């Protein structure tokens, strides 16, 4: 993760004397690289004393102010890890003295703070970077930024919200920034700042985010602007998203993440067969799939969605199996694809095939997933056993499901409806879990006509029946609305297989 900083440090160690000949690798640079790699490995292994020793062993020329400032930031990270905060702050001050307002130095501290698990250190560095070098903020790796945003400092919600708004106002994330933009819009609306929230809409280029806002009354002040952004049947924003995804993919055609964005955008515009054609970017054999990384995994997931949209569920399942059964080293991230494969089988009514995957999916969620992922598996198990009439097994899962309702209220509600547990479902809704995400899932779940956000599941009739309960109808009216007909997906023909 720190390779960019390593390259800077190594470059700064070169002689300042001009030369017309390419420089040969020097023993000095080799030693700097070795020490830097040792520092990086030690820091992320939380061997902070060893990381500090490696950083202090990097010796650069005194006039190499930027290089020495970077090394000072490296030392600071190790010292923060050792909880020697006073010494660490002195190292930060030294870095600032050597290279004031230098983005490379601040970025080093931001990444170091993430590596040592000190959200406060990373937050201070990111705030400073936002203040003095917004262009450099836009260049930060999105995985690092989201790692930070999911682990922000506790006890300072206002400051955390301010940071999210500031990032959104910078246009951070490009095509990956819609989630952040949506969150920032919600924050500004809660503060009553409709004008600032409206200004952020021009960064929003995601049909899913736009549709979610059109459903929720908390965004009612923005509905006129959102309706203009969406266009009839959401086609305007969908076409815009596709154009942007294709443009970015054309610049980097070997990038699986960008390919996945194209597939999703094609599905959003109804071009399902073109989305399926992106299957050509995915390995075709177990041996080839063994080299897959997480981005490739999400491309598999997206193409599987395309198969499902084309009502070609068997091919979707075969593709998931190719990924999930491959012998991939460090393939823990496949927990998402395993759950999604199971979900596809349940939602398409292939329940016996779903049962066969319970053991492996549950084991994956237990070892590699979080509490939310584990509740997703319980949801699918309870729904399946209920539908199959296996009452004893369903009852056993129900106890566990209710015990963990707080881990994932939305999926819990869906499970209870699938199993016909309306009383328990009503209790959950009226307890009003203090989570915006649950409110959104509640409104999506109870749509009269399932929109593009939720393909018609096998338990749609239960959802509509549940919505007729007076207390539930009132709660739905408080939080949301049915998606207006003009924004429902236009009827499209699915090509025969």
- Say if 1-14+26-154 and 252-363 have the same CATH topology: yes
Q: What is the mean pLDDT of residues 5-10?
A: 40
Q: What is the mean pLDDT of residues 64-87?
A: 96
When computed from its CA atoms, the radius of gyration of the chain, rounded to whole angstroms, is 25
Q: Class of 1-14+26-154 per CATH? A: mainly alpha
Q: What is the mean pLDDT of residues 399-407?
A: 95
Q: What is the mean pLDDT of residues 4-20?
A: 36
Q: What is the mean pLDDT of residues 401-412?
A: 94
Write phi, then psi, for 30 (nearest 5 degrees). Answer: -60, -40
Q: What is the mean pLDDT of residues 450-467?
A: 81
Q: Which of 188, 193, 167 is nearest to 110 (CA)?
A: 167
What is residue 495's predicted lDDT score, i.e. its pLDDT? 46
Indicate the CATH number for domain 252-363.
1.25.40
First to last CA, the chain: 44
**Spans of all domains in the chain:** 1-14+26-154, 157-244, 252-363, 370-497
Q: How much is the pTM?
A: 0.83
Measured in whole angstroms, the distance separating CA 171 from the mean position of its chain's CA atoms is: 17
Q: Are 487 and 233 in contact (CB under 8 A)?
A: yes
What is residue 369's predicted lDDT score, i.e. its pLDDT? 95
Residue 457 clears pLDDT 80, i.e. is over it: no
Q: Are 147 and 114 in contact (CB under 8 A)?
A: yes
pLDDT tens-digit series, residues 149-204: 999 999 999 999 999 999 999 988 766 788 899 999 999 999 999 999 999 999 99
Considering only residues 460 and 132, tell me which one the structure prediction assigns the higher pLDDT: 132
Q: What is the mean pLDDT of residues 475-483?
A: 96
Percentage of the chain with pLDDT > 90?
84
Residue ranges of the alpha helices (H) in 82-170? 85-98, 103-115, 119-132, 134-138, 142-149, 157-169
Considering only residues 20 and 396, tell me which one the structure prediction assigns the higher pLDDT: 396
Residue 11 clears pLDDT 80, i.e. is over it: no
315-333 core/surface letters (b: 16 or more CB in 10 A; e: else): bbbebbebbbebebeebeb
Q: What is the mean pLDDT of residues 214-226?
A: 96
What is residue 456's predicted lDDT score, i.e. its pLDDT? 64
Task: Give burial (CB, 10 Å; 0-12/13-18/19+) of 224.
Answer: exposed
pLDDT band, very low/low/confident/very high, at 492 (cuts 50, 70, 90): low
Q: Which of 249, 251, 244, 260 is nearest to 292 (CA)?
A: 260
Task: Give burial (CB, 10 Å; 0-12/13-18/19+) of 491.
Answer: exposed
3-state secondary structure 37-50: HHHHHHHHCCCHHH
Residue 248 clears pLDDT 50, i.e. is over it: yes
pLDDT tens-digit series, residues 311-362: 999 999 999 999 999 999 999 999 999 999 999 999 999 999 999 999 999 9
Average model confidence (pLDDT) across the chain: 90
Q: Are 469 and 422 in contact (CB under 8 A)?
A: yes
What is residue 22's predicted lDDT score, i.e. its pLDDT? 38
Lowest mean pLDDT among 20-24, 228-232, 265-269, 345-349: 20-24
């Amino acid at each position: 993760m720190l390779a960019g900083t390593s390259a800077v440090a190594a470059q700064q160690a070169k002689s300042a004397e001009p030369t017309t000949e390419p420089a040969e690798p020097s023993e000095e640079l080799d030693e700097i690289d070795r020490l830097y790699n040792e520092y990086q490995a030690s820091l992320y292994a939380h061997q902070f004393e060893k990381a500090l020793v490696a950083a202090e062993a990097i010796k650069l020329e005194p006039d190499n102010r930027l290089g020495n400032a970077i090394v000072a930031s490296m030392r600071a990270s190790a010292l923060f890890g050792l909880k020697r905060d006073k010494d660490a702050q002195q190292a930060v001050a030294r870095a600032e003295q050597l290279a004031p307002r230098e983005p490379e130095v601040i970025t080093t501290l931001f990444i170091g703070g993430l590596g040592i698990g000190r959200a406060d250190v990373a937050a201070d560095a990111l705030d400073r970077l936002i203040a003095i070098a917004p262009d450099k903020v836009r260049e930060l790796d999105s995985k690092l930024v989201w790692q930070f945003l999911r682990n922000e400092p506790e006890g300072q919600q206002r400051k955390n919200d301010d940071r999210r708004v500031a990032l959104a106002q910078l246009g951070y994330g490009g095509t990956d920034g819609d989630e952040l933009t949506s969150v920032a819009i919600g924050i500004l609306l809660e503060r009553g700042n409709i004008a600032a929230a409206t200004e952020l809409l021009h960064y929003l280029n995601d049909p899913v985010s736009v549709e979610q806002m059109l459903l929720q009354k908390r965004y009612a002040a923005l509905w006129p602007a959102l309706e203009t952004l969406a266009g009839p049947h959401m086609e305007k924003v969908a076409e815009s998203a596709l154009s942007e995804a294709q443009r970015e993919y054309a610049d980097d055609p070997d990038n699986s993440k960008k390919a996945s964005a194209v597939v999703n955008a094609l599905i959003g515009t109804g071009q399902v067969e073109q989305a399926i054609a992106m299957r050509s970017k995915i390995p075709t054999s177990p041996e080839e799939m063994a080299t897959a990384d997480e981005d490739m995994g999400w491309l598999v997931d997206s193409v599987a969605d395309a198969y499902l949209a084309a009502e070609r569920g068997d091919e979707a399942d075969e593709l998931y199996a190719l990924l999930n059964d491959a012998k991939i080293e460090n393939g823990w991230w496949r927990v998402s694809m395993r759950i999604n494969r199971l979900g596809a089988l349940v939602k398409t009514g292939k329940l016996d095939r779903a049962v066969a995957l319970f053991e492996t999916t549950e084991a994956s969620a237990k070892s590699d997933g979080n509490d939310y992922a584990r509740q997703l598996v319980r949801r699918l198990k309870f729904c399946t056993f209920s539908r199959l009439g296996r009452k004893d097994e369903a009852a056993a899962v129900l106890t566990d499901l209710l015990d963990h309702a707080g881990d994932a209220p939305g999926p819990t509600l869906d499970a209870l409806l699938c199993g016909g547990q309306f009383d328990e479902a009503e209790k959950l809704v009226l307890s009003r879990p203090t989570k915006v995400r649950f409110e959104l899932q509640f409104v999506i779940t109870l749509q009269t006509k399932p929109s593009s956000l939720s393909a018609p599941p096998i338990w749609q009739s239960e959802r509509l029946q549940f919505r007729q309960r007076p207390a539930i109808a009132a709660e739905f009216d408080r939080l949301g609305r049915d998606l207006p007909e003009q924004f429902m997906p236009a009827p499209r023909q699915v090509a025969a297989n």
